[in-house]
Chain A
Amino acid sequence: MIKQNFKNKVSELPNYIKSWAKTFTGGLTLFTLIAFIFLPFLSPNQNFLYVFVRQFTLAMIYSIFAASWDLLTGISGQISFGHSIFFGIAGYLCAYLISYQNFPIWVAFIIGALGAVFFGLIIGVPCLRLKGPYLALGTLAFSLILLKLFLMGSLAFIFFGSEGISGLPRIAPNPIIEYFIIFISMIAIFIIIFQIVKSKFGTILKAIRDDEMGADASGVNTTRYKAYAFMLSALFAGIAGSFYALYIGAVNPSGNFGSVISFFAILMASLGGLTTISGSALGAFFFIFLEYSLIQIGFENYVFLIFSIILIIVVRFAEHGILRPVLERLKDMWDILLGR
């Protein structure tokens, strides 16, 4: 029966996609995706390929990371201020296996992401007794402990000290191939997260977010579901972390474990709009290109200052992020264009 169900779903898929593409958000998404596919071919210029296209690749890696944070905090209501834990662990594990154990890139990549899941479990379990702001503090403390451990010179023989590991191979030598590998991964991960949010499992996560006591009174094992949320979020954060390590070609404590990395995720997801998931992508692209432009005009020291001010303004005037208001404006304009 399940097989039959699945077959039905597959045969309905083309129709589903057709009707989806005709809706406003569907059409817009499709348009954006097509734009993304053509983007790297716009110019054969080396500078364009190695700087501009790679900035897009970086933004996509951060999109995955911010979306993983949104899944844990926006959807499941478990506030994490230490998401760099998963990002860093995966990156380090991946780098270590490639440089010191000669693992093939993709095996190391997968083990790195799974290592993050494992950390999601061992950090999740003690932290799950904490609620709200205390959970945020607990995760922050954990990430600071890890950062210190990895920075310690006396433990450099285990954690490689402040130097980290460098000289990693690229995901692909050609930036266009690198771009597409990460693009496809990002699309796949976003589809998976959307399906999780829409599923019954997602409904339970949202119920725990809205009223944990009520979920308990509804017979839901809240601890178990929160642990699942931690592990899933850690998986996606780990994938982003492994990608990031390979993208940069090196790992070091402050670059992969720093609190700044955790705040990147929070800033991007909140700017785009909590619980929207796709808002994380918008926030990430906004952040990366703002940073890029500021560096171009010589303001690299003010990136955080300016971004924080923007975040304060966004939180003050559009507390649900910029994605929904922007989409609504676009839809109004679209309707006017079509004369509706």
Chain B
Amino acid sequence: MGVILEVKNLTKKYGGLTAVNDFSFEIKRGEFVGLIGPNGAGKTTVFNLISGFEKPSSGRIRFDGIDITGMRPFKIVNLGIARTFQLVRSFKFLSLLDNITVPCLSERGKKLTKKVGTEAHASSILASVGLIDKARIPPVILPHGDLRKLQIGKALGTNPELLLLDEPFSGLSHEEGVVITELIKNLHDDGVTIFMTGHVLRELMTLVPRVIAMHQGRFIIDAPPQEVASNKIVLEAYLGRGGEFA
């Protein structure tokens, strides 16, 4: 299996603050990887840098062998990296179906819709995230769990090879979380490479076979979950020094 995402010496500075500091890792095609760290560790910044919403101060990002450092977001999406946002975003006044239609109309999304037609394809994605019975409703009146599903549906519209999920469980009830977990697992089984963040360890640990931990913008460890959970620096980052209660 080849490397799908290669991040090398990634650094992002905001004035005097270094949000991401010399961060490097690789993800192989078909992997399922978690990125953890306490609040403010720089997880979202890493995602923003990969997806092109922010430009790195230094360092390189390669996707499928193509250098995507500093490319505009829509181009990166059309290469095959889709993302969701920590704070849910939606096209507020469009129906759910139209919300999914927009990514289906992107350059990359279009390739899939040629045979079946845009609307049929968007409906099938809506069905796969379990929102087909609400196709004509605008997202403003949806509960939070449904908005999380919609986000994943929108990302699927662009037919991604690599899916970046930024805190897909935040603000969800336990039941809603279970549904989303199933959804993500199915996507992974379909062959989508998944890279997701989370600040709550427990949820992520049960899901992913490999975890990258970061703290204050720095890389700490890249290992299976059990090993990460027992890592001293990780425990200190989450619980402060002397974290014997873990």
Q: Which residues of A contact B (CB under 8 A)?
A: 200, 203-204, 206-207, 209-211, 213-222
Contact A200 B77 (CB under 8 A): no
A207 interface neighbour in B51, B73, B102, Cβ under 8 Å: B102
Chain A hits for B56, CB < 8 A:
none
Closest Cβ neighbor of B78 among chain A residues: A219
Contact flag A214-B91 (CB < 8 Å), given A203-B102, A207-B102, A219-B78 = yes
Closest Cβ neighbor of A222 among chain B residues: B74
CB proximity to A under 8 Å, residues B98-125: 98-99, 101-103, 105-109, 118
Chain B hits for A204, CB < 8 A:
102, 105
Taking the nearest CB of chain B, how far is it from the CB of A197, in angstroms? 12
- Docked pose: A219 CA to B91 CA in angstroms: 14
Besides the contacts A203-B102, A215-B91, A217-B51, what 19 more A-B pairs have beta carbons closer than 8 Å?
A200-B105, A203-B94, A203-B105, A206-B98, A207-B94, A207-B102, A210-B91, A210-B94, A214-B85, A214-B90, A215-B102, A216-B77, A217-B53, A217-B154, A218-B106, A219-B78, A219-B82, A220-B103, A222-B74
Digit string of B63-93 for contact with A (CB within 8 Å is 1, else 0)?
0000000001110011000110100011111
Closest CB pairs A-B (n = 4): A219-B106, A219-B77, A218-B103, A210-B91
Instruction: Judge whether B145 is part of the interface by a CB distance below 8 angstroms.
Output: no
- Docked pose: A214 CA to B92 CA in angstroms: 11
Contact B53 A213 (CB under 8 A): yes
Contact B74 A216 (CB under 8 A): yes
- Docked pose: A98 CA to B193 CA in angstroms: 63
CB proximity to A under 8 Å, residues B118-152: 118
Chain B hits for A203, CB < 8 A:
94, 98, 101-102, 105
Contact B93 A210 (CB under 8 A): yes
Chain A hits for B83, CB < 8 A:
217
Chain B hits for A220, CB < 8 A:
74, 102-103, 105-106
Chain B hits for A200, CB < 8 A:
101, 105, 118
A219 interface neighbour in B89, B98, B109, Cβ under 8 Å: B109
- Docked pose: A217 CA to B73 CA in angstroms: 6
Chain A hits for B217, CB < 8 A:
none
Taking the nearest CB of chain A, how far is it from the CB of B129, in angstroms? 15
Contact flag A219-B158 (CB < 8 Å), given A204-B102, A213-B53 = yes
Closest Cβ neighbor of B80 among chain A residues: A219
- Docked pose: A219 CA to B157 CA in angstroms: 9
Taking the nearest CB of chain A, how far is it from the CB of B122, in angstroms? 10
Chain B hits for A209, CB < 8 A:
93
Chain A hits for B157, CB < 8 A:
218
- Docked pose: A219 CA to B90 CA in angstroms: 14
A-B pair count, CB < 8 Å, reads 80
Closest Cβ neighbor of B110 among chain A residues: A219
Contact A219 B74 (CB under 8 A): yes
Chain A hits for B92, CB < 8 A:
210-211
Contact flag A206-B103 (CB < 8 Å), given A217-B51, A217-B85, A220-B74 = no
Taking the nearest CB of chain B, how far is it from the CB of A206, in angstroms? 6
Chain B hits for A206, CB < 8 A:
91, 93-94, 98
Residues of B in contact, count (CB < 8 Å): 31
Taking the nearest CB of chain A, how far is it from the CB of B47, in angstroms? 11
Which of A209, A216, A218, A219 is the most central at the interface, judged by chain B CB atoms within 10 Å of its CB? A219
Chain A hits for B102, CB < 8 A:
203-204, 207, 215, 218, 220
- Docked pose: A209 CA to B83 CA in angstroms: 20
Contact B94 A214 (CB under 8 A): no
Contact flag A218-B154 (CB < 8 Å), given A200-B101, A203-B101 = yes
Chain A hits for B109, CB < 8 A:
218-219
Contact B90 A211 (CB under 8 A): yes
Closest Cβ neighbor of A224 among chain B residues: B74
Contact B89 A214 (CB under 8 A): yes
- Docked pose: A272 CA to B51 CA in angstroms: 41
Contact A210 B90 (CB under 8 A): yes
Chain B hits for A219, CB < 8 A:
74, 77-78, 82, 103, 106-109, 158
What would be 10 A-B contacts, judged by CB atoms less than 8 Å apart? A200-B118, A203-B101, A204-B102, A207-B99, A215-B91, A219-B74, A219-B77, A219-B158, A220-B74, A221-B74
- Docked pose: A209 CA to B93 CA in angstroms: 9
Which of A206, A215, A220, A222 is the most central at the interface, judged by chain B CB atoms within 10 Å of its CB? A220
Chain B hits for A207, CB < 8 A:
91, 94, 98-99, 102
Chain A hits for B94, CB < 8 A:
203, 206-207, 210
- Docked pose: A214 CA to B89 CA in angstroms: 6
Taking the nearest CB of chain B, how far is it from the CB of A169, in angstroms? 45
- Docked pose: A203 CA to B103 CA in angstroms: 11
Which of B77, B102, B106 is the most central at the interface, judged by chain A CB atoms within 10 Å of its CB? B102
Taking the nearest CB of chain B, how far is it from the CB of A306, in angstroms? 32
Contact A218 B93 (CB under 8 A): no
Chain A hits for B91, CB < 8 A:
206-207, 210-211, 214-215
Closest Cβ neighbor of B84 among chain A residues: A217
Taking the nearest CB of chain A, how far is it from the CB of B121, in angstroms? 12
Contact B77 A217 (CB under 8 A): yes
- Docked pose: A220 CA to B109 CA in angstroms: 10
Closest Cβ neighbor of A210 among chain B residues: B91
B82 interface neighbour in A213, A215, A217, A222, Cβ under 8 Å: A217
- Docked pose: A217 CA to B84 CA in angstroms: 8
- Docked pose: A226 CA to B82 CA in angstroms: 22
